[in-house]
Structure 1
């Protein structure tokens, strides 16, 4: 992989988390797209990662928080990243980026509330997020994760019953996760943003999620018009690797597709980092 040329400007730092020994080419692409736009880009890792591209700063995840991999195994990687992102912001003041968020334009220096609605629903997503290091929203999120309740305040009766039916010896994080997988991600972020009045500060979806999740195949279509979803306000393009079909993960993108064009632009060879 040839190193990309970094812009002269040094912009706001961004950071993400990786759990596992190897990046997929789409993750390499998205991380390097931030480097291209001058953002110092840090990847926090729970173990050594064999193929982090040159230009990415690698740090242990334990720089931010203690990592209980047993809880991760009982839940998912997304559980840890949902807790990690707010602790990372509080510790470093960096912008959180998922490893499948492509930097279309650099984040403005003065932008203080970077989060947006997602797809066709009203919930806020937290795939790309920055909130002030000190304030009611981040304080409530950190308190939620550090002092897990018997059930999240927004849970309905059915969700609460799902918690009650589980083995009480399980970690509380696991019991909540088993009742509702998104209870630590968009649900928590949306609820606390509503409680603090920050919900109304959200950006429109075209800024961070211009392509709805339900249409994510368009990134691999050589005849797709991905840029038709973009506006002048678009900063980030979420590629939704958690919803990518197995064929696209295991094979290089077709020529002229958005994924192939962005790889050529950034300097990533997909064939060298496919899912095994």
Structure 2
């Protein structure tokens, strides 16, 4: 168990929500050494999670976070972390259903109903063309992301000119640093075909994320024998669920009971 591949994530903020606790601890329970890089002094990380400063990997520009979102710079952080440590990136809302395979260099997958890629769970070789292209994109942002059409460029041009270049890209297209960039550079590096089918990492479509709180929802009906990770999509969670414990019998409640997380102790 102790020899499983390490996984890591980033938390920008002072306190984890219970779903984040649940997802991090699920990797510990599966035997993955789990590191959480933090910008603040997080005191409620689950037992077994190693908490380290985010500055071990890169400095987080909190002014840029304030004009974008808490998850915005995680899109840069994850690749710098992989290159530095070789760990598998996991979003803090990715629940470990089965341990990740020991011998698979590329781990990323199709997402949602469109077949596009997501970067909520990512393993890449520390030295590879795709990694080089992603890091070069973030370190040397072009005037416009190369895949943008005229409408997207027009949105950028209309954004507040007092904002930074990166923030204006974000305002024009929220996912231009995340799934859009990942999908584009996977294609550019000839690695798009390595994407795992949706059932492996994102078995439940984003559009159905309320199912995790439905006691009568058949969440496991979306799973297959190949499912490794279950994305809980906390960025799309309705505010109600952030402030209330999940109903008994729901997937969220059952997994908390299984893993040993008390939702009432970590609500927003």
Q: Show the 5 A alignment for 1:90-105.
A: 90-105=83-98
TM-superposed deviation, 1:169: 4.7
- 1:46 aligns with 39
- 1:3 aligns with none
- For 1:70, which of 63, 67, 79 is the aligned residue? 63
Cα distance in 2 between the residues matched to 1:261 and 1:111 = 30
Cα distance in 1 between the residues matched to 2:21 and 2:213 = 17
**Per-residue CA shift, 1:178-202, capped at 9, x if unaligned?**
1111100000000011111111110
Q: State which drifts further: 86-95 or 241-250.
A: 241-250
Q: How has the CA–CA distance of structure 1 residues 218 and 76 changed in structure 2, closer, same or farther, with 3 Å as cutoff?
A: same
Q: State which drifts further: 184-193 or 152-161.
A: 152-161
Question: Is contact 2:2-2:33 (8 Å) kept?
Answer: no
Question: Is contact 2:10-2:54 (8 Å) kept?
Answer: yes
Q: Does residue 1:187 correspond to 2:153, yes or no?
A: no
- 2:77 aligns with 84
- For 2:16, which of 18, 23, 30 is the aligned residue? 23
- 1:248 aligns with 241
Cα distance in 1 between the residues matched to 2:162 and 2:19 = 39
- 1:210 aligns with 203
TM-superposed deviation, 1:9: 4.0
- 1:196 aligns with 189
Cα distance in 2 between the residues matched to 1:31 and 1:157 = 40
Cα distance in 2 between the residues matched to 1:162 and 1:191 = 20
Cα distance in 2 between the residues matched to 1:228 and 1:9 = 31
Match of 1:79, SS state, is coil
- 2:117 aligns with 124
- 1:5 aligns with none
**Which runs of 5 or more residues in structure 2 are unaligned?**
none
Cα distance in 2 between the residues matched to 1:163 and 1:226 = 39
- 2:106 aligns with 113
Cα distance in 2 between the residues matched to 1:166 and 1:268 = 42
- For 2:148, which of 155, 164, 175 is the aligned residue? 155
- 1:231 aligns with 224
TM-superposed deviation, 1:170: 2.9
Q: State which drifts further: 143-152 or 166-175.
A: 166-175
Match of 1:112, SS state, is coil
Cα distance in 2 between the residues matched to 1:211 and 1:166 = 34
Length, aligned pairs only: 268
TM-score for both structures, normalised by structure 2: 0.97
Match of 1:143, SS state, is helix
TM-superposed deviation, 1:222: 1.0
- 1:258 aligns with 251
TM-score for both structures, normalised by structure 1: 0.95
**Per-residue CA shift, 1:56-93, capped at 9, x if unaligned?**
00011010012111011111122111111011101000
TM-superposed deviation, 1:50: 2.3
